[in-house]
A and B are shown apart, each in its own frame.
Chain A
């Protein structure tokens, strides 16, 4: 077992050991504390340049990474799909090599193709952080979910975590499954069979298509957004139908244990996968997730950007 951190890239949770995941969560404690100081900025990455390279649109993940980098004293530039030369036909590799020629030290990449961060991580000297690649992984989102569960419940092992919704297209779900299973949680996936196929059981999780049977014994429910943009054909009859069978309505929320946490990676479709009253209720930790996301990203940038890359 390693006592330290020695990776330059964070590509996914599948490749990390339980020890490495716990190492990031412990480091996050330290960076969360920085947010409570009078001066919320540390010099850890002073002189380093971070490029936020978002080929797919994103507001919260990009701004979270940007603020995390600024609090570590790194310089930040943002490039989005519409402002990059990708629209002029440049390949991903050429764009990245150009960024490296500008001495970028850390590349935060969101891309619609699974594996794009790994492709670049293997070819660039710079650290590559996966900020979501296709329907593959979104490691920092899963890490902030794990951190929030650990913070609120004191542990992860032995808890029953229920992930509800669009699992098939969800990189958030995949990264969460890898992390939760490694840390010893029991995971149940819930949704229509078209979005939650039985195949997922191979990952060491349970699959259910009946939400009301699962909710009463959940310690955490994590609701995923229906990703209209990834669905090229119809996977369920309609939004109203989805809410009726799988939405966390205020009636359904009464089935939950009083200490069950309600999580959502955002952005929320109020009235679709979750009722407004539930999203804003006492069991909701949705805004804690946002605060913790900043601390987790500071930890990840510090660890991956802070090691020697010679």
Chain B
């Protein structure tokens, strides 16, 4: 993962491993409360950290309600609106969603919600798989600065930021603990 090239204490600590665990546990409770038909929920993570977060939320739901919710992967690279503007392209991963999506609630899961463009691309990608009953959005961090009319249904932490700052999330690393940091330029 590209974020692991940086040092282990890159900026101002925002959340530690316990903070992340509690936030995801709360999101799991909120999903259970808001989605009466839990068996119809699909947690679709955006690679790579969103996939890890989606699996953790699913695990909390499993422990709390004894229900296995489906998880999936939704890679947005081929649906982005900035193709042709980058000198180097990152790897595209295969998307994976349970089909058919009709009657189902797909919850897009990402680590940081920022401009909203990734989420827009994710919604387009989901629609190419079918027509879900509804699409919701869960993010560990909402840092503001939206460029599209998009908001999250489930948020781990609202973090006011400046545009020149960066939010760095580490989750699911084998060697280092989970955490969220704010990096000032």
Determine if A39 is an interface residue (Cβ-Cβ < 8 Å). Answer: yes
Given A30-B75, A32-B94, A43-B79, the answer on whether A38 and B89 have CB atoms closer than 8 Å is no
Binding site for A on B (CB under 8 A): 2, 75, 77-80, 83-96, 99, 124-125, 127-130
> How distant is the Cα of A105 from the Cα of B7 in the complex, in angstroms?
40
Q: Which residues of B have CB within 8 Å of A23?
A: 91
Q: Which residues of A have CB within 8 Å of B83?
A: 44-45, 306
Given A38-B99, A39-B127, A39-B128, the answer on whether A30 and B87 have CB atoms closer than 8 Å is no
Choose among A2, A5, A42 the residue that contacts B78 (Cβ–Cβ < 8 A). A42
Determine if A97 is an interface residue (Cβ-Cβ < 8 Å). Answer: no
Determine if A242 is an interface residue (Cβ-Cβ < 8 Å). Answer: no
**Most chain-A Cβ atoms within 10 A of its Cβ — which of B80, B94, B96, B124?**
B94
> How distant is the Cα of A4 from the Cα of B89 in the complex, in angstroms?
5
Q: How large is the interface on A (under 10, 10 to 19, 20 to 34, 35 or more residues)?
A: 20 to 34
Choose among B84, B85, B94, B99 the residue that contacts A30 (Cβ–Cβ < 8 A). B94
Closest to A41 in B: B128
B86 touches A308 (CB 8 A): yes
20 contacts between A and B (CB under 8 A): A3-B2, A3-B91, A26-B91, A26-B92, A27-B91, A29-B94, A30-B93, A38-B128, A38-B129, A38-B130, A39-B128, A40-B128, A42-B79, A43-B79, A45-B83, A48-B84, A299-B92, A302-B78, A307-B87, A308-B87
A6 touches B88 (CB 8 A): yes
Type the 1/0 row for A5-46, where 1 means its CB is closer than 8 Å to any CB of B: 110000000000000000100110111111001111111110
> How distant is the Cα of A45 from the Cα of B89 in the complex, in angstroms?
14
Q: Which residues of B have CB within 8 Å of A26?
A: 91-93
> How distant is the Cα of A45 from the Cα of B92 in the complex, in angstroms?
15
A307 touches B86 (CB 8 A): yes
Closest Cβ of chain A: how far from B76's Cβ, in Å?
Answer: 10
A303 touches B129 (CB 8 A): no
Q: Which residues of A have CB within 8 Å of B92?
A: 26-27, 30-31, 299, 302
> How distant is the Cα of A91 from the Cα of B178 in the complex, in angstroms?
61
Closest to B101 in A: A38
> How distant is the Cα of A195 from the Cα of B90 in the complex, in angstroms?
41
Q: Which residues of A have CB within 8 Å of B78?
A: 30-31, 34, 42-44, 72, 302
Q: Which residues of A have CB within 8 Å of B91?
A: 3-4, 23, 26-27
**Most chain-B Cβ atoms within 10 A of its Cβ — which of A34, A48, A72, A308?**
A308
Q: Which residues of B have CB within 8 Å of A5?
A: 88-89
> How distant is the Cα of A34 from the Cα of B75 in the complex, in angstroms?
11
Given A43-B78, A45-B83, the answer on whether A306 and B89 have CB atoms closer than 8 Å is yes
Closest Cβ of chain B: how far from A302's Cβ, in Å?
Answer: 7
B128 touches A33 (CB 8 A): no
